[in-house]
Structure 1
């Protein structure tokens, strides 16, 4: 029987929550690698991943901080990637959402595991120390996921109008399937909250312990990252990498300096187009599966919505996606116990 092909999708911040406590203990496949990550944390005077993951109870104040969450999420993602059954599944490309780009770099081999952890942990720590601005999320798709470009354009018009006001900063941080993740200063975020109709009693929703990622407000953090993380950490990827612009970094054809520059430049200070990354992954690689690694289960919806927005394989709405998924699973979320075995073969 021939192998199934898969694009692996790495989640970003906000995916290690109460339900994920103990995830590394349950799933991380390489004790020696986890110990190496712990040594880095210990040398920096930080709680080890083993201690954080093995805590008796989940603490929002502790576990969602950038200097802790980034390391936990990176390790959970890489552990899941290493657990994919390569006898039955051929990984043809890797992408990620936001800080999931750092995880994708390691999964694809452009960063060695310990160097990838160094990048993710360093950037998470720098962002937490600065904590410039904040983020909120707001949907533009309805419950049926039917594409609504006019609604999206209207909301982005509100964002632009607010950003143009004196002493207000607001921008699109992440284009995330049917959601817009917006980032800015307090004045900009508050103005948006007051300008739009609430949705489902939940949105617009502030994201706790999140800074104004993927905006020019992060320029000082990007500069600190470039000073702390030399370009020689980066090498040729072994697998194609799809970045937050939808650009593909190919094995044997990647400019390592340019990859470093993108990762600690554009990727930090400009909008991250996850929707486009998934569309490119679908069209360029036409995989049998999209495997979303853990931790968490929230990114699967954004992947599915991105495929609908790309009109991939004729899936024009939520019902179309569900029918395709039920006939033959297209999307596998490793953070869901009932789906994990489809990726690990166990």
Structure 2
């Protein structure tokens, strides 16, 4: 049997090309209706209405209260669509994808996972504290450049030390740094670093995720979401520290505490999560659920940093991928059929 690590994407992955994803791929019409009913009861647009819109709207579809639920549903639906002859040996995700990870791995029911995602996405949107930007630290060859990364992090620390400036590492994302901060901190970084194609790239409708600025959201999330929602996972879960939550050995209170505490207010190390997944579980495949196709590069860059299967560059990854695919993105029509 083929083994695989499942990877759930975070915010920013449901875009114009993903419109209609749920209509095309979601495998459980009853569950989708249930999600829609929950949204309507809260006075929110249903996922079906958002997904079937005639045109994609940044103002509407990238809002935290809409985007988070759309992405969660697409991820969970894809996880349910994977063939039975593929054994999922562990689950991980990027940022908001941790909530999807909890549901795909059985620590939350599909409905409880939806409640967590929809609650946290709504709280983020209502407060919209700070923002995020993305900047690369490796070159086009995807080879690690530790000196460049260290210099960028030093620049970040210098800006964060200035009066009235806040800037921290939000997500270690393969060859990218995702930074969180207030307007002064983000603008100072944009001014200080060289322009590189579209980078530094400000992320629309994104708050200062995974930073201390999110403490009010963490507090509100704890007040609204009970530890009783959480159960023992059915599969190993790899979190944003690279820690593994093992089935039958989890403290459910600790899992709730991490999810609504550390995961919200501290740096999310996606690179380490992927490296741990590779080294601890040595899967045949890494399967990225939809929506979108943007996470593949970060996964590949993380594997290259770990020198997984001897890979040290983008060219070596592409050669291996062409000979025998090890990374499957379900958001790509040419790859989805390999696992469904």
Instruction: Tell me which of 219, 222, 225 is aligned to 2:218.
Output: 222
SS in structure 1 of the partner of residue 177 of structure 2: strand
Aligned-partner Cα distance in 2 for 1:16–1:133: 21
User: What is the CA-CA distance between 1:323 and the residue it aligns to?
Assistant: 1.1
Matched, 1:145 2:142: yes
Instruction: Tell me which of 198, 201, 208 is aligned to 1:212.
Output: 208
- 1:171 alignment partner in structure 2: 168
Matched, 1:279 2:262: no
5+ residue gaps, structure 2, are none
- 1:106 alignment partner in structure 2: 103
- Per-residue CA deviations over 1:96-146 (Å, capped at 9, x if unaligned) read 000000000000000000000000010000000000000000000000011
- Per-residue CA deviations over 1:58-114 (Å, capped at 9, x if unaligned) read 11100000000000000000000000001x200000000000000000000000000
- 2:288 alignment partner in structure 1: 292
Aligned-partner Cα distance in 2 for 1:39–1:262: 29
User: What is the CA-CA distance between 1:26 and the residue it aligns to?
Assistant: 0.2
User: What is the CA-CA distance between 1:313 and the residue it aligns to?
Assistant: 1.1
Instruction: Tell me which of 147, 151, 157 is aligned to 1:154.
Output: 151
Counterparts of residues 1-346 of structure 1 (less than 5 Å): 3-86=1-84, 88-200=85-197, 202-344=198-340
Aligned-partner Cα distance in 2 for 1:243–1:125: 22
- Per-residue CA deviations over 1:279-303 (Å, capped at 9, x if unaligned) read 0000000000000000000001100
Q: TM-score, normalised by structure 2?
A: 1.00
SS in structure 2 of the partner of residue 8 of structure 1: strand
Aligned-partner Cα distance in 1 for 2:89–2:318: 24
- Per-residue CA deviations over 1:181-226 (Å, capped at 9, x if unaligned) read 00000000000001101112x1000000000000000000000000
Aligned-partner Cα distance in 2 for 1:183–1:171: 5
- Per-residue CA deviations over 1:20-69 (Å, capped at 9, x if unaligned) read 00000000000011011111101111000000001111111000000000
Task: Tell me the C-alpha RMSD between the 2 structures.
Answer: 0.4
- Per-residue CA deviations over 1:252-292 (Å, capped at 9, x if unaligned) read 00000000000000000000000000000000000000000
User: What is the CA-CA distance between 1:316 and the residue it aligns to?
Assistant: 0.5
Q: TM-score, normalised by structure 1?
A: 0.98
SS in structure 1 of the partner of residue 49 of structure 2: helix
SS in structure 1 of the partner of residue 6 of structure 2: strand
User: What is the CA-CA distance between 1:343 and the residue it aligns to?
Assistant: 1.1
Aligned-partner Cα distance in 1 for 2:38–2:171: 30
- Per-residue CA deviations over 1:144-184 (Å, capped at 9, x if unaligned) read 01110000000000000000000000000000000000000
SS in structure 1 of the partner of residue 90 of structure 2: strand
Aligned-partner Cα distance in 1 for 2:143–2:134: 19
Aligned-partner Cα distance in 2 for 1:8–1:340: 13
